Structure 1
């Protein structure tokens, strides 16, 4: 079971991986969609309002 879950993770794109990780966000962004839940992009950096 664990192996199938791990291999599933490899097939997800970056956006889906963020959703699975629940709140992971990159430090840099182009828009709010690049950031995790509750974070806003100010044009370059994700931050929590």
Structure 2
């Protein structure tokens, strides 16, 4: 995992049974929860 101030890069191995859309959905849900729980960006409302 690597990042800059406005985006990140993630290198993964995706199993054929996992859809890319579901992976992105899970990443967005988890990261939104973390950002809100830790109050990292007070005005953040979600992706």
What's the TM-score, normalizing by structure 1? 0.30
The structure with the greater share of residues assigned to helix is 1
Greater RCO structure (CA 8 Å; 6+ sep): 1
TM-score w.r.t. structure 2 length?
0.30
